[in-house]
Protein backbone atom coordinates (compact mmCIF):
# COMPACT_ATOMS: atom_id res chain seq x y z
CA UNK A 1 0.00 0.00 0.00
CA UNK A 2 2.96 2.32 0.68
CA UNK A 3 3.66 2.36 -3.02
CA UNK A 4 0.25 3.92 -3.70
CA UNK A 5 0.20 6.31 -0.76
CA UNK A 6 3.72 7.61 -1.48
CA UNK A 7 2.82 8.13 -5.11
CA UNK A 8 -0.34 10.11 -4.31
CA UNK A 9 1.48 12.35 -1.83
CA UNK A 10 4.41 12.93 -4.21
CA UNK A 11 2.15 13.77 -7.16
CA UNK A 12 0.08 16.16 -5.06
CA UNK A 13 3.16 17.95 -3.74
CA UNK A 14 4.68 18.16 -7.25
CA UNK A 15 1.43 19.71 -8.48
CA UNK A 16 1.66 22.42 -5.85
CA UNK A 17 0.10 21.04 -2.66
CA UNK A 18 1.55 22.32 0.60
CA UNK A 19 -0.19 19.48 2.46
CA UNK A 20 -1.70 16.20 1.24
CA UNK A 21 -3.24 13.09 2.69
CA UNK A 22 -4.72 9.95 1.21
CA UNK A 23 -7.17 7.45 2.62
CA UNK A 24 -7.54 4.03 1.01
CA UNK A 25 -10.71 2.44 2.31
CA UNK A 26 -12.34 -0.96 1.88
CA UNK A 27 -15.79 -1.45 3.43
CA UNK A 28 -17.63 -4.77 3.54
CA UNK A 29 -21.10 -5.12 4.95
CA UNK A 30 -23.61 -7.85 5.48
CA UNK A 31 -27.28 -7.13 6.19
CA UNK A 32 -30.00 -9.60 6.98
CA UNK A 33 -33.66 -8.74 7.41
CA UNK A 34 -36.49 -11.03 8.46
CA UNK A 35 -40.09 -9.90 8.12
CA UNK A 36 -43.12 -11.92 9.17
CA UNK A 37 -41.29 -15.23 9.07
CA UNK A 38 -39.58 -14.66 5.73
CA UNK A 39 -35.95 -13.76 5.16
CA UNK A 40 -36.84 -10.63 3.24
CA UNK A 41 -33.33 -9.29 2.61
CA UNK A 42 -29.94 -10.91 2.65
CA UNK A 43 -27.24 -8.83 1.11
CA UNK A 44 -23.48 -8.60 0.96
CA UNK A 45 -21.99 -5.29 -0.06
CA UNK A 46 -18.58 -3.88 -0.60
CA UNK A 47 -16.88 -0.74 -1.76
CA UNK A 48 -13.24 0.07 -2.32
CA UNK A 49 -11.51 3.25 -3.31
CA UNK A 50 -9.38 6.16 -2.26
CA UNK A 51 -9.65 9.87 -1.62
CA UNK A 52 -6.91 12.49 -1.79
CA UNK A 53 -7.22 15.68 0.26
CA UNK A 54 -4.85 18.56 -0.35
CA UNK A 55 -4.16 22.17 0.55
CA UNK A 56 -2.89 24.24 -2.37
CA UNK A 57 -2.75 28.04 -2.56
CA UNK A 58 -4.06 27.95 1.01
CA UNK A 59 -7.36 26.25 0.13
CA UNK A 60 -8.76 22.72 0.31
CA UNK A 61 -9.25 20.34 -2.59
CA UNK A 62 -10.50 16.76 -2.59
CA UNK A 63 -10.97 14.11 -5.26
CA UNK A 64 -11.61 10.39 -5.15
CA UNK A 65 -11.87 7.31 -7.31
CA UNK A 66 -12.86 3.67 -7.13
CA UNK A 67 -9.83 2.54 -9.18
CA UNK A 68 -6.64 2.12 -7.18
CA UNK A 69 -4.23 2.19 -10.09
CA UNK A 70 -1.07 4.25 -10.57
CA UNK A 71 -2.39 6.35 -13.47
CA UNK A 72 -5.66 6.96 -11.64
CA UNK A 73 -3.82 8.00 -8.48
CA UNK A 74 -1.88 10.54 -10.54
CA UNK A 75 -5.06 11.89 -12.12
CA UNK A 76 -6.95 12.13 -8.82
CA UNK A 77 -4.05 13.76 -6.93
CA UNK A 78 -3.65 16.37 -9.68
CA UNK A 79 -7.42 16.96 -9.80
CA UNK A 80 -7.50 17.52 -6.03
CA UNK A 81 -4.81 20.19 -6.42
CA UNK A 82 -6.66 21.81 -9.36
CA UNK A 83 -9.84 21.92 -7.29
CA UNK A 84 -7.94 23.48 -4.37
CA UNK A 85 -6.59 26.18 -6.65
CA UNK A 86 -10.10 26.90 -7.98
CA UNK A 87 -11.38 27.11 -4.39
CA UNK A 88 -8.64 29.61 -3.56
CA UNK A 89 -10.30 32.32 -5.64
CA UNK A 90 -12.73 33.09 -2.83
CA UNK A 91 -10.69 32.20 0.24
CA UNK A 92 -10.65 34.63 3.15
CA UNK A 93 -7.40 33.33 4.61
CA UNK A 94 -5.06 30.36 4.23
CA UNK A 95 -6.00 27.09 5.92
CA UNK A 96 -4.05 26.65 9.19
CA UNK A 97 -3.77 23.05 10.38
CA UNK A 98 -1.95 23.89 13.61
CA UNK A 99 0.87 21.67 14.87
CA UNK A 100 1.79 18.67 12.68
CA UNK A 101 0.34 15.27 13.54
CA UNK A 102 2.78 12.44 12.86
CA UNK A 103 1.74 8.93 13.86
CA UNK A 104 2.76 5.53 12.53
CA UNK A 105 0.50 2.92 14.05
CA UNK A 106 -2.09 0.19 13.60
CA UNK A 107 -5.44 -0.22 15.38
CA UNK A 108 -8.03 -3.00 15.36
CA UNK A 109 -11.45 -3.19 16.99
CA UNK A 110 -11.10 -5.87 19.67
CA UNK A 111 -13.71 -8.58 19.09
CA UNK A 112 -14.29 -11.97 20.71
CA UNK A 113 -16.00 -13.46 17.64
CA UNK A 114 -15.48 -12.00 14.17
CA UNK A 115 -19.04 -11.72 12.78
CA UNK A 116 -17.76 -12.41 9.26
CA UNK A 117 -16.63 -15.87 10.45
CA UNK A 118 -20.15 -16.87 11.58
CA UNK A 119 -22.41 -18.72 9.15
CA UNK A 120 -25.39 -17.02 7.56
CA UNK A 121 -27.50 -19.87 8.84
CA UNK A 122 -26.79 -19.03 12.48
CA UNK A 123 -27.64 -15.40 11.86
CA UNK A 124 -30.90 -16.15 10.07
CA UNK A 125 -31.93 -18.67 12.74
CA UNK A 126 -31.41 -16.03 15.42
CA UNK A 127 -33.75 -13.60 13.65
CA UNK A 128 -36.34 -16.25 12.81
CA UNK A 129 -36.46 -17.26 16.48
CA UNK A 130 -37.23 -13.66 17.47
CA UNK A 131 -39.78 -13.36 14.68
CA UNK A 132 -41.59 -16.51 15.83
CA UNK A 133 -41.82 -15.24 19.41
CA UNK A 134 -43.32 -11.93 18.30
CA UNK A 135 -45.84 -13.41 15.90
CA UNK A 136 -47.08 -15.79 18.58
CA UNK A 137 -48.76 -12.72 20.08
CA UNK A 138 -52.25 -12.12 18.73
CA UNK A 139 -52.68 -8.77 17.05
CA UNK A 140 -49.17 -8.39 15.65
CA UNK A 141 -49.37 -7.27 12.02
CA UNK A 142 -45.70 -6.80 11.27
CA UNK A 143 -42.66 -8.36 12.93
CA UNK A 144 -39.33 -7.26 11.57
CA UNK A 145 -35.80 -8.02 12.71
CA UNK A 146 -32.42 -7.15 11.28
CA UNK A 147 -28.74 -7.78 11.74
CA UNK A 148 -25.92 -5.73 10.24
CA UNK A 149 -22.19 -6.30 10.19
CA UNK A 150 -19.53 -3.92 8.91
CA UNK A 151 -15.81 -4.29 8.42
CA UNK A 152 -13.81 -1.24 7.41
CA UNK A 153 -10.11 -1.46 6.61
CA UNK A 154 -8.46 1.89 6.01
CA UNK A 155 -4.99 3.23 5.46
CA UNK A 156 -4.22 6.88 6.13
CA UNK A 157 -0.99 8.55 5.01
CA UNK A 158 -0.05 12.22 5.07
CA UNK A 159 2.69 14.43 3.72
CA UNK A 160 3.62 15.14 7.36
CA UNK A 161 4.74 11.52 7.72
CA UNK A 162 1.76 9.70 9.23
CA UNK A 163 0.97 6.15 8.15
CA UNK A 164 -1.90 4.47 10.00
CA UNK A 165 -3.69 1.18 9.32
CA UNK A 166 -7.02 0.53 11.02
CA UNK A 167 -9.55 -2.29 10.94
CA UNK A 168 -12.92 -1.40 12.47
CA UNK A 169 -15.66 -3.98 13.02
CA UNK A 170 -19.30 -3.29 13.88
CA UNK A 171 -22.19 -5.52 14.84
CA UNK A 172 -25.77 -4.29 14.92
CA UNK A 173 -29.13 -5.82 15.76
CA UNK A 174 -32.73 -4.73 16.15
CA UNK A 175 -36.30 -5.90 16.27
CA UNK A 176 -39.64 -4.14 15.90
CA UNK A 177 -43.19 -5.45 16.40
CA UNK A 178 -46.06 -3.42 14.93
CA UNK A 179 -49.73 -3.71 15.81
CA UNK A 180 -52.35 -2.10 13.58
CA UNK A 181 -56.02 -1.25 14.06
CA UNK A 182 -58.23 1.09 12.05
CA UNK A 183 -56.52 4.46 11.92
CA UNK A 184 -53.90 3.44 14.44
CA UNK A 185 -50.48 1.80 14.40
CA UNK A 186 -48.25 1.24 17.41
CA UNK A 187 -44.81 -0.26 17.59
CA UNK A 188 -42.22 -1.47 20.07
CA UNK A 189 -38.56 -1.83 19.26
CA UNK A 190 -35.71 -3.60 21.00
CA UNK A 191 -33.01 -2.76 22.02
CA UNK A 192 -33.40 0.50 20.11
CA UNK A 193 -35.60 1.85 17.33
CA UNK A 194 -34.96 2.96 13.73
CA UNK A 195 -33.18 -0.09 12.48
CA UNK A 196 -30.92 -1.31 15.18
CA UNK A 197 -28.58 -0.88 18.10
CA UNK A 198 -25.02 -1.05 16.86
CA UNK A 199 -21.55 -1.15 18.43
CA UNK A 200 -17.86 -1.70 17.67
CA UNK A 201 -17.99 -5.27 18.93
CA UNK A 202 -18.08 -8.79 17.54
CA UNK A 203 -20.76 -11.43 17.17
CA UNK A 204 -20.88 -11.80 20.98
CA UNK A 205 -23.26 -8.82 20.85
CA UNK A 206 -26.11 -11.14 19.78
CA UNK A 207 -25.95 -13.24 22.93
CA UNK A 208 -25.67 -10.11 25.07
CA UNK A 209 -28.89 -8.56 23.73
CA UNK A 210 -30.89 -11.74 23.07
CA UNK A 211 -33.54 -10.59 20.57
CA UNK A 212 -35.47 -13.90 20.76
CA UNK A 213 -35.73 -13.49 24.53
CA UNK A 214 -37.29 -10.03 24.28
CA UNK A 215 -39.41 -10.18 21.09
CA UNK A 216 -42.55 -11.50 22.78
CA UNK A 217 -42.57 -8.70 25.34
CA UNK A 218 -42.18 -6.12 22.55
CA UNK A 219 -45.12 -7.65 20.67
CA UNK A 220 -47.31 -7.67 23.77
CA UNK A 221 -46.50 -4.04 24.48
CA UNK A 222 -47.26 -3.01 20.86
CA UNK A 223 -50.69 -4.65 21.06
CA UNK A 224 -51.37 -3.13 24.48
CA UNK A 225 -50.48 0.32 23.15
CA UNK A 226 -53.33 0.18 20.61
CA UNK A 227 -55.85 0.51 23.43
CA UNK A 228 -53.70 2.57 25.80
CA UNK A 229 -54.83 6.15 26.49
CA UNK A 230 -53.10 9.13 24.92
CA UNK A 231 -50.31 10.46 27.13
CA UNK A 232 -51.68 13.50 29.00
CA UNK A 233 -50.26 16.96 28.28
CA UNK A 234 -48.86 19.47 30.71
CA UNK A 235 -45.69 20.63 32.41
CA UNK A 236 -44.36 17.53 34.11
CA UNK A 237 -41.42 15.64 35.56
CA UNK A 238 -40.14 13.09 33.05
CA UNK A 239 -37.68 10.21 33.21
CA UNK A 240 -36.06 9.18 29.92
CA UNK A 241 -34.73 5.68 29.35
CA UNK A 242 -31.19 5.20 28.01
CA UNK A 243 -31.96 4.94 24.27
CA UNK A 244 -34.20 8.04 24.27
CA UNK A 245 -31.70 9.99 26.36
CA UNK A 246 -28.95 8.90 23.95
CA UNK A 247 -30.77 10.61 21.09
CA UNK A 248 -31.51 13.67 23.26
CA UNK A 249 -27.74 13.99 23.92
CA UNK A 250 -27.01 13.43 20.22
CA UNK A 251 -29.33 16.18 19.02
CA UNK A 252 -29.12 18.77 21.77
CA UNK A 253 -25.46 18.43 22.83
CA UNK A 254 -23.51 16.40 20.26
CA UNK A 255 -24.47 18.43 17.19
CA UNK A 256 -24.21 21.92 18.72
CA UNK A 257 -20.63 21.26 19.93
CA UNK A 258 -19.41 20.35 16.43
CA UNK A 259 -17.06 23.25 15.80
CA UNK A 260 -17.61 23.25 12.02
CA UNK A 261 -21.31 23.94 12.65
CA UNK A 262 -20.36 26.68 15.09
CA UNK A 263 -18.17 28.32 12.45
CA UNK A 264 -20.98 28.13 9.92
CA UNK A 265 -19.76 25.53 7.45
CA UNK A 266 -22.93 23.43 7.86
CA UNK A 267 -25.23 26.47 7.94
CA UNK A 268 -27.00 25.82 4.66
CA UNK A 269 -27.87 22.21 5.39
CA UNK A 270 -27.91 20.98 8.99
CA UNK A 271 -27.72 24.46 10.48
CA UNK A 272 -25.50 26.24 12.97
CA UNK A 273 -25.28 26.15 16.77
CA UNK A 274 -26.44 28.17 19.74
CA UNK A 275 -23.09 27.33 21.42
CA UNK A 276 -21.26 30.20 19.75
CA UNK A 277 -17.56 30.83 20.54
CA UNK A 278 -18.17 33.53 23.19
CA UNK A 279 -19.98 30.88 25.25
CA UNK A 280 -16.83 28.72 25.40
CA UNK A 281 -15.95 28.31 29.11
CA UNK A 282 -18.58 30.94 29.92
CA UNK A 283 -22.00 29.32 29.61
CA UNK A 284 -24.16 27.22 31.88
CA UNK A 285 -25.46 24.41 29.70
CA UNK A 286 -27.27 22.42 32.36
CA UNK A 287 -27.55 21.64 36.06
CA UNK A 288 -24.37 20.93 37.99
CA UNK A 289 -24.82 17.15 37.79
CA UNK A 290 -24.58 17.26 33.98
CA UNK A 291 -21.18 15.98 32.80
CA UNK A 292 -20.87 15.18 29.10
CA UNK A 293 -17.73 13.90 27.38
CA UNK A 294 -16.58 13.26 23.83
CA UNK A 295 -14.99 9.82 23.91
CA UNK A 296 -13.44 7.78 21.10
CA UNK A 297 -11.78 5.18 23.30
CA UNK A 298 -14.43 3.39 25.41
CA UNK A 299 -14.51 -0.29 24.38
CA UNK A 300 -17.56 -1.20 22.34
CA UNK A 301 -18.85 2.30 21.66
CA UNK A 302 -20.11 2.74 18.11
CA UNK A 303 -18.02 5.93 17.96
CA UNK A 304 -14.82 4.23 19.14
CA UNK A 305 -11.73 4.22 16.90
CA UNK A 306 -7.95 4.45 17.05
CA UNK A 307 -7.45 7.52 14.85
CA UNK A 308 -9.80 9.92 13.11
CA UNK A 309 -9.62 10.52 9.35
CA UNK A 310 -7.05 13.30 9.78
CA UNK A 311 -4.76 10.85 11.58
CA UNK A 312 -5.39 12.36 15.03
CA UNK A 313 -5.52 9.85 17.91
CA UNK A 314 -8.93 9.02 19.41
CA UNK A 315 -9.25 10.53 22.89
CA UNK A 316 -11.61 11.69 25.63
CA UNK A 317 -12.46 15.37 26.09
CA UNK A 318 -14.77 17.18 28.50
CA UNK A 319 -17.67 18.90 26.73
CA UNK A 320 -19.89 19.83 29.69
CA UNK A 321 -18.26 19.82 33.13
CA UNK A 322 -20.47 20.24 36.21
CA UNK A 323 -23.06 21.89 33.97
CA UNK A 324 -20.62 24.35 32.35
CA UNK A 325 -19.81 24.31 28.63
CA UNK A 326 -16.05 23.65 28.34
CA UNK A 327 -15.27 21.95 25.03
CA UNK A 328 -16.08 21.46 21.35
CA UNK A 329 -15.59 18.56 18.97
CA UNK A 330 -12.77 19.77 16.75
CA UNK A 331 -10.74 19.21 13.60
CA UNK A 332 -7.16 20.40 13.08
CA UNK A 333 -8.31 23.46 11.16
CA UNK A 334 -11.18 24.41 13.47
CA UNK A 335 -9.02 23.94 16.60
CA UNK A 336 -6.63 26.51 15.12
CA UNK A 337 -9.52 28.85 14.33
CA UNK A 338 -10.86 28.58 17.88
CA UNK A 339 -7.43 29.36 19.30
CA UNK A 340 -7.41 32.67 17.44
CA UNK A 341 -10.52 33.61 19.45
CA UNK A 342 -9.56 31.83 22.69
CA UNK A 343 -5.76 31.61 23.03
CA UNK A 344 -6.24 29.22 25.97
CA UNK A 345 -8.07 26.64 23.80
CA UNK A 346 -6.12 23.43 22.98
CA UNK A 347 -3.72 23.76 20.05
CA UNK A 348 -4.42 20.27 18.84
CA UNK A 349 -7.59 18.73 17.44
CA UNK A 350 -9.42 16.30 19.72
CA UNK A 351 -9.75 13.88 16.84
CA UNK A 352 -13.36 14.10 15.67
CA UNK A 353 -12.93 14.21 11.87
CA UNK A 354 -14.46 11.30 10.05
CA UNK A 355 -15.66 10.51 6.53
CA UNK A 356 -18.39 8.01 5.67
CA UNK A 357 -16.19 6.41 3.02
CA UNK A 358 -13.34 6.83 0.57
CA UNK A 359 -15.38 9.14 -1.62
CA UNK A 360 -16.20 11.72 1.07
CA UNK A 361 -14.21 14.49 2.70
CA UNK A 362 -13.86 14.12 6.49
CA UNK A 363 -16.06 16.46 8.51
CA UNK A 364 -16.46 16.83 12.28
CA UNK A 365 -18.54 13.94 13.62
CA UNK A 366 -19.49 12.81 17.08
CA UNK A 367 -17.62 9.82 18.43
CA UNK A 368 -19.25 8.65 21.70
CA UNK A 369 -20.80 11.79 23.19
CA UNK A 370 -21.98 10.59 26.57
CA UNK A 371 -23.67 11.80 29.75
CA UNK A 372 -21.63 10.38 32.61
CA UNK A 373 -23.56 8.23 35.10
CA UNK A 374 -24.88 9.45 38.44
CA UNK A 375 -25.38 7.50 41.63
CA UNK A 376 -28.94 6.21 42.04
CA UNK A 377 -30.52 2.94 40.97
CA UNK A 378 -33.49 2.92 38.59
CA UNK A 379 -35.80 1.68 41.36
CA UNK A 380 -34.63 4.50 43.64
CA UNK A 381 -35.24 7.03 40.86
CA UNK A 382 -38.83 5.88 40.32
CA UNK A 383 -39.43 5.65 44.10
CA UNK A 384 -38.16 9.22 44.46
CA UNK A 385 -40.63 10.57 41.86
CA UNK A 386 -44.10 11.54 43.12
CA UNK A 387 -45.70 12.48 39.85
CA UNK A 388 -44.25 12.10 36.37
CA UNK A 389 -43.97 10.22 33.08
CA UNK A 390 -41.39 7.55 32.21
CA UNK A 391 -40.67 7.62 28.47
CA UNK A 392 -39.18 4.67 26.62
CA UNK A 393 -37.56 4.26 23.15
CA UNK A 394 -37.49 7.00 20.57
CA UNK A 395 -40.23 7.21 17.92
CA UNK A 396 -39.78 10.72 16.49
CA UNK A 397 -37.25 13.54 16.69
CA UNK A 398 -36.94 17.08 15.42
CA UNK A 399 -34.79 20.04 16.45
CA UNK A 400 -34.26 23.53 15.08
CA UNK A 401 -31.26 24.69 13.06
CA UNK A 402 -29.46 26.11 16.12
CA UNK A 403 -30.25 23.05 18.25
CA UNK A 404 -32.44 24.88 20.72
CA UNK A 405 -36.10 23.99 20.23
CA UNK A 406 -36.65 20.24 20.13
CA UNK A 407 -39.54 17.81 20.15
CA UNK A 408 -39.23 14.08 20.69
CA UNK A 409 -41.79 11.31 20.69
CA UNK A 410 -41.41 7.90 22.32
CA UNK A 411 -42.91 4.52 21.55
CA UNK A 412 -44.07 3.91 25.09
CA UNK A 413 -44.69 5.85 28.28
CA UNK A 414 -45.81 5.07 31.81
CA UNK A 415 -47.40 7.23 34.44
CA UNK A 416 -45.31 7.57 37.62
CA UNK A 417 -47.48 8.13 40.69
CA UNK A 418 -46.30 8.20 44.29
CA UNK A 419 -43.02 6.52 43.45
CA UNK A 420 -44.50 3.71 41.36
CA UNK A 421 -44.90 2.99 37.63
CA UNK A 422 -48.58 2.87 36.64
CA UNK A 423 -50.76 3.39 33.57
CA UNK A 424 -49.28 2.77 30.08
CA UNK A 425 -49.66 5.68 27.63
CA UNK A 426 -49.29 5.94 23.85
CA UNK A 427 -48.06 8.75 21.58
CA UNK A 428 -46.02 10.52 24.27
CA UNK A 429 -44.09 13.58 23.17
CA UNK A 430 -42.08 16.21 24.99
CA UNK A 431 -40.69 19.52 23.84
CA UNK A 432 -38.38 22.21 25.17
CA UNK A 433 -35.39 24.50 24.75
CA UNK A 434 -31.98 22.90 25.22
CA UNK A 435 -30.44 24.90 28.13
CA UNK A 436 -33.72 25.08 30.08
CA UNK A 437 -34.23 21.36 29.60
CA UNK A 438 -30.75 20.39 30.82
CA UNK A 439 -31.07 22.86 33.72
CA UNK A 440 -33.96 20.70 34.90
CA UNK A 441 -31.83 17.55 35.08
CA UNK A 442 -31.82 16.53 38.75
CA UNK A 443 -31.05 12.78 38.90
CA UNK A 444 -29.03 10.35 36.80
CA UNK A 445 -28.92 6.59 37.31
CA UNK A 446 -25.66 4.88 38.16
CA UNK A 447 -23.04 3.12 36.01
CA UNK A 448 -24.92 -0.14 36.50
CA UNK A 449 -27.69 1.27 34.26
CA UNK A 450 -25.37 3.10 31.84
CA UNK A 451 -24.70 1.87 28.33
CA UNK A 452 -23.30 3.34 25.09
CA UNK A 453 -26.21 3.36 22.66
CA UNK A 454 -25.29 3.25 18.98
CA UNK A 455 -26.77 5.70 16.47
CA UNK A 456 -25.87 4.29 13.03
CA UNK A 457 -27.84 6.88 11.04
CA UNK A 458 -26.46 10.37 11.73
CA UNK A 459 -26.75 12.50 8.61
CA UNK A 460 -24.63 15.57 7.94
CA UNK A 461 -22.71 17.28 5.17
CA UNK A 462 -23.04 18.00 1.48
CA UNK A 463 -22.72 15.62 -0.27
CA UNK A 464 -24.54 13.75 2.46
CA UNK A 465 -22.62 11.50 4.83
CA UNK A 466 -24.03 9.01 7.33
CA UNK A 467 -21.93 8.55 10.47
CA UNK A 468 -22.02 5.96 13.22
CA UNK A 469 -22.01 7.56 16.65
CA UNK A 470 -22.40 6.38 20.24
CA UNK A 471 -24.05 7.93 23.29
CA UNK A 472 -23.49 6.68 26.82
CA UNK A 473 -26.64 7.22 28.85
CA UNK A 474 -28.49 5.92 31.89
CA UNK A 475 -32.13 6.68 32.83
CA UNK A 476 -32.28 10.35 33.85
CA UNK A 477 -34.89 12.66 35.36
CA UNK A 478 -35.83 16.15 34.15
CA UNK A 479 -38.15 18.60 35.91
CA UNK A 480 -40.65 21.07 34.43
CA UNK A 481 -40.83 19.66 30.91
CA UNK A 482 -43.69 20.38 28.50
CA UNK A 483 -45.23 17.02 27.69
CA UNK A 484 -47.58 16.55 24.76
CA UNK A 485 -48.88 18.60 21.87
CA UNK A 486 -50.94 15.94 20.13
CA UNK A 487 -54.70 16.26 20.26
Partner 1 sequence: MLTVLGETRLAEIAHKALRAAEADQTEVTVTSNASHLTRFATNTIHQNVSETDVTIRVRSIMGTKTGVASGNELDDEGIGRIVSSAETIARFQQENPEFKGLPEPKPIQGVDAVVQRTADATPMDRAEGVEKILKLSRAAELEAAGAFSTEDQELYIANSLGVGAYHRGTVASALTVVMGEDSSGYGAAASIDIADVDTEAVGRAAVDKALRSKNPVKIEPGEYTVILEEEAVADMVFFLGYMGFGALAVQEGRSFMSGKIGEKITGENVTIWDDGSDPRGIPLPFDFEGVPKQKVVLIENGIAKGPVHDSFTAGREEGAVSTGHALSMPNTFGPIPINLFMAAGDASKEEMLASTERGIWVTRFHYTNILHPVKSLLTGMTRDGTFLIEDGKITKPLVNLRFTQSVLEAFANISMLGASVKMVKDDWNSIGHCVPAAKIDGFHFTGTSGS
Nearer to partner 1, 106 or 181 (CB): 181
Q: Which of 72, 472, 4 is nearest to 246 (CA)?
A: 472
Rounded to a whole number of angstroms, the distance between the first and last alpha carbons of the chain is 61
Strand ranges of the sheet holding 324-325, from the earlier edge strand across to the other edge: 324-325, 316-321, 292-295, 368-371, 465-473, 451-460
Nearest-approach distance from CB 418 to partner 1, in angstroms: 30
Nearer to partner 1, 40 or 447 (CB): 40
| Residue 441 zone, left/alpha/beta (φ > 0; ψ -120 to 50; rest) | beta
Q: Which of 237, 242, 253, 241 is nearest to 399 (CA)?
A: 253
Nearer to partner 1, 82 or 383 (CB): 82
346 within 8 A of 447, measured Cβ to Cβ: no
Nearer to partner 1, 77 or 201 (CB): 77
Stated as kind and residue range, the H or E segment containing 13 is: helix 2-14
Nearest-approach distance from CB 160 to partner 1, in angstroms: 21
Distances in Å between the Cα of 128 and the Cα atoms of 135, 175, 209, 211 are 10, 11, 15, 10
What ranges make up the beta strands (E) of 362-450? Answer: 363-364, 368-371, 387-399, 405-417, 420-425, 428-433, 441-444
Helix, strand counts (H, E) of the chain: 10, 23
Distances in Å between the Cα of 14 and the Cα atoms of 53, 74, 373, 433, 437 are 14, 11, 52, 52, 54
DSSP class of 154? E
Nearer to partner 1, 171 or 265 (CB): 265
Nearest-approach distance from CB 270 to partner 1, in angstroms: 9
Helix, strand, or coil (residue 457): strand
Nearest-approach distance from CB 307 to partner 1, in angstroms: 22
Nearer to partner 1, 46 or 422 (CB): 46
Nearest-approach distance from CB 315 to partner 1, in angstroms: 25
Nearest-approach distance from CB 180 to partner 1, in angstroms: 4
Q: Which of 117, 139, 397 is nearest to 255 (CA)?
A: 397
Nearest-approach distance from CB 377 to partner 1, in angstroms: 33
Nearest-approach distance from CB 35 to partner 1, in angstroms: 5
In this structure, what are the phi and psi dihedrals at residue 19, rounded to the nearest 5 degrees?
Answer: -145, 145
CB atoms within 10 A of CB 479: 17
Nearest-approach distance from CB 395 to partner 1, in angstroms: 8
Nearer to partner 1, 279 or 321 (CB): 279
Nearer to partner 1, 359 or 451 (CB): 359
Nearer to partner 1, 421 or 486 (CB): 486
- Dihedral, CA atoms, 464, 470, 475, 481, nearest 10 degrees? -30
CB neighbour class for 166 (10 Å; exposed up to 12, middle 13-18, buried from 19): buried
Nearer to partner 1, 34 or 302 (CB): 34
Distances in Å between the Cα of 168 and the Cα atoms of 80, 108, 155, 301 are 27, 6, 12, 12
Nearer to partner 1, 335 or 382 (CB): 335
Nearest-approach distance from CB 208 to partner 1, in angstroms: 25
What ranges make up the beta strands (E) of 400-427? Answer: 405-417, 420-425
Nearest-approach distance from CB 175 to partner 1, in angstroms: 13
Amino acid sequence: MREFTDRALDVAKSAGASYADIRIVRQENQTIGVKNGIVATLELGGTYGFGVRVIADGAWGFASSNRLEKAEIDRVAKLAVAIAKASAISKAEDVDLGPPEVHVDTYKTPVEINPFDVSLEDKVDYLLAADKEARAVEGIAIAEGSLGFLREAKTFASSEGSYIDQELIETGLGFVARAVSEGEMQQRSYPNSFGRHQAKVGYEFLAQWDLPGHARQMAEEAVALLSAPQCPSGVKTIILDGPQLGLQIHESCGHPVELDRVFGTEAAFAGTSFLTPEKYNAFTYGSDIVNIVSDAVSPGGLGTYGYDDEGVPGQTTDIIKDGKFVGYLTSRESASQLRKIHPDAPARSNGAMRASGWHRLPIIRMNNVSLLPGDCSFDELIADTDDGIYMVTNKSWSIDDKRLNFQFGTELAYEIKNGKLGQMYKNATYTGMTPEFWAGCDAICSAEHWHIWGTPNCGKGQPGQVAHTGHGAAPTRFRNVQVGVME
